[in-house]
Amino acid sequence: MIEQSARGCGAQLLDVQRLRLVETGAPRLTPEERLAMNEVWDGLVRGNPSFFDGPVLVCAGAEREGPDDLTVSWVRTTYRHFALRRVPGSTSWLPSFFVAVLQPADDGRLLVGRMANSTAAPGRWQLPGGSLEPPEGDEPLDMRALYGHAARELIEETGIETRPDDLTFWNVTRAGNGSIGVLFRAPSLPAARLHERFEAMAAAERAEGRDPELDRIALIHSTAQLPLLVGPHADYLEPIVRRYEASAAEGA
């Protein structure tokens, strides 16, 4: 059982070739946990009215089925569930289940973004991406759905439009809190175009009275440049950049 036993450990890549997704039931909250969760959530919303208690998926576990296979169990809930992380003594909270996209520039650098102050992780540097949402109706949650979600996150956060079919499954990451992230790689684009698309998207969002989720992007080529990104980093960022850097060196 990878996810449960790994909480509190550092982030790592799991080297997955095949991924299986299985829906399961949510843990039952005690009345005390539910009350505390609602109190924390209401406080968060008062501090940031942009928080929305919409549908989201969380990770109930991740288990190896073979050396290259991973089965991820997921649960339907809402963003309010994440408030349980801030409830002392809660044992019912579940970590995130998300997608992220490696977007290279044609000079080999990798795009990273800084979360805006209006988000749940202000100032944090990470890859473009976000938590998964439940499939609509009878649609399955499968790899095709994850490709589509990754493409949507990329255009919403950076303005870079890429067809789901043009993405490549890259790997799976496990964050230090047990969150599972499915990683995709997008086709390389000129660095100037990446900046142009991001600036156009950010300007359009602000013109509509909304803050873009990422308030800044940067292009980096190695882990040596991570200290130049001032502010907190997603804990999975360093091992991903290290692997990306090594892969680029092997392909040189």
Task: Sketch the domain layout of the chain as residue ranges.
Answer: 2-251
Beta strands in 79-236 (DSSP E): 97-102, 110-115, 125-126, 129-131, 168-174, 180-185, 214-220
Which candidate, 10, 233, 216, 236, places its Cα nearest to that of 124? Answer: 233
Average pLDDT of every residue of the chain: 92
Sorting pLDDT into bands at 50, 70 and 90, what band is 89?
Answer: confident
Contact assessment for residue 113 and residue 121, using Cβ atoms and an 8 Å cutoff: no
Amino acid at 89: G
Angle formed at CA 190 by CA 219 and CA 127, multiple of 5 degrees: 35
- What's the confidence (pLDDT) of residue 3? 36
Q: Would you say domain 2-251 falls under CATH 1.10.3720.10?
A: no
Whole-model pTM? 0.93
pLDDT digits (tens, 9 = 90+) for 148-176: 999 999 999 999 999 999 999 999 999 99
Q: Give the pLDDT confidence of 35-64 residue by residue, as tens digits.
A: 999 999 999 999 988 888 999 999 999 999
